[in-house]
Amino acid sequence: MNILIIGSGGREYSIGLALKNRSNVDKIYFNPGNGATDMLGVNIPIKDFSELADFVVANNIELTIVGPEAPLTEGIVDVFKARGLNIFGPSKVAAQLEGSKIFMKNFLSRHNIPTAKYIETNSLEVAYKFIETLTPPIVVKADGLCGGKGVIIALSHDEAKKEAGEMLSGNAFGNAGKSIVVEEFLDGYELSVFAICDGKDYVILPAAQDHKRLLDNDEGPNTGGMGAYVPTPLVNEDIYKKLEDRVVKPTLKGMQEENMPFTGVLFMGVMVVKGEPIILEYNVRFGDPECEEIMPLLKNPLDLFYKAAIGDLANAKIEFFDKFAVGVVMASKNYPYSDSVPAEIIVDDIVHESLSENSHISYAGVSRDKDGKLYATGGRVLVCVGVGDSIKEAQQRAYMLCGQVHFAGKQCRSDIAYQALKIEG
């Protein structure tokens, strides 16, 4: 089977790598791909969705997998489905669960799915009034997509009002902030839980924990994610069960009832407060870097994507290796503040078999020059992934691999999975 993967990050690289290594696939295409995905398949630069659908037909591609949110909210799935093509991801209307925080919060509230108390508004007056009723910290969120920067945790009423004003005036995030959500602050720990959905059935994947802050001990600025591990011991059967009954089932049912059945990845941003899972937000695709650790644990990744895309998850055989994976992001020098000068990437030969067999790199922000040399060109450059029988072993392998990778200005956290290791010992 020929496959097309949409996107250009480490997430898409990891999906391609898993399919190539452990599923029966023929050719893999990436659109647009990055400077390293051409080691796994063929990069194609087409931008227009209809043209891309033409390419899919012409090249006998039987399945398209969409990595990032932007093409989903722009309706790529609708264009492909209208042409009778198999595509993994939600339709444009269903993708609003990520594309509009107001849509998502109102959906949760209509279906009694646990979430933080909130209001949505485009009126400063209404925002001010609600802010006064909350005790700081107070959370202010822009409605639309802001590349992970549209959420402010304000430490005082005044700060919350100021941020709400900045957003509503359009100064902070343009149109994405012209409507906002104001909500109560939830104090707990965060999990990323992914449910693969085919419109009616679902499979919940082992939960992950991301590390959003740039520096060790969760200090420094927020980033797109500096590392993650799977599965996390911070979740137990009770939490999975509650998520299933209170979140996933009512969501799939609600989306069906409202004529926008949900297909693809339902990414639950969960805050666990006193043992109760509460939904912070939905995304409609895999997290990056969580995907890079989930993929190596899947025995047959193709089954998951293909069966979900054709609406036959009930007959999918989804199995996981009984292992742990830890991924450490290596970012370029000025990340997340500004661009960095491209730097050549050198990866030492790995001589230890236990390391070469149980670790790999998922490439993200890289480009290749005409001599075939790889350069770090993006903010998050690559992810070093280690797999092991314990989180500790997986972490050690991930960091040993980091030690073999060199480029000027490289930065990474040294404590990915620290919360789990406190528990695992």
User: Which of 281, 288, 290, 303 touches ligand ADP (CB under 6 A)?
Assistant: 281
Minimum CB distance to ligand ADP, residue 148 (Å): 5
Using CB under 6 A as the binding rule, whether residue 139 contacts ligand ADP is answered as yes
User: Which of 82, 148, 155, 389 touches ligand ADP (CB under 6 A)?
Assistant: 148
150, interface contact from Mg ion, ligand ADP, none, CB < 5-8 Å by kind = ligand ADP
Using CB under 6 A as the binding rule, whether residue 180 contacts ligand ADP is answered as no
Site size for ligand ADP, by CB under 6 A? 13
Contact by Cβ (8 Å): 145, 70: yes
Using CB under 6 A as the binding rule, whether residue 150 contacts ligand ADP is answered as yes
User: Is 272 or 383 the residue whose CB approaches ligand ADP more closely?
Assistant: 272
Using CB under 6 A as the binding rule, whether residue 183 contacts ligand ADP is answered as yes
Minimum CB distance to ligand ADP, residue 285 (Å): 12
139, interface contact from Mg ion, ligand ADP, none, CB < 5-8 Å by kind = ligand ADP
Using CB under 6 A as the binding rule, whether residue 294 contacts ligand ADP is answered as no
User: Which of 186, 193, 228, 326 touches ligand ADP (CB under 6 A)?
Assistant: 186
Q: Sketch the per residue contact string, 80 through 119, with ligand ADP: x for CB under 6 A, - otherwise.
A: ------------------------------------x---
Binding to Mg ion (CB under 5 A): which residues in 240-299?
A: 269
User: Is 218 or 244 the residue whose CB approaches ligand ADP more closely?
Assistant: 218
Using CB under 6 A as the binding rule, whether residue 243 contacts ligand ADP is answered as no
User: Which of 62, 74, 166, 190 touches ligand ADP (CB under 6 A)?
Assistant: 190
147, interface contact from ligand ADP, Mg ion, none, CB < 5-8 Å by kind = none
Site of interaction with ligand ADP (CB under 6 A)? 116, 139, 148, 150-151, 153, 183, 185-186, 190, 269, 280-281
Contact set with Mg ion (CB under 5 A): 269
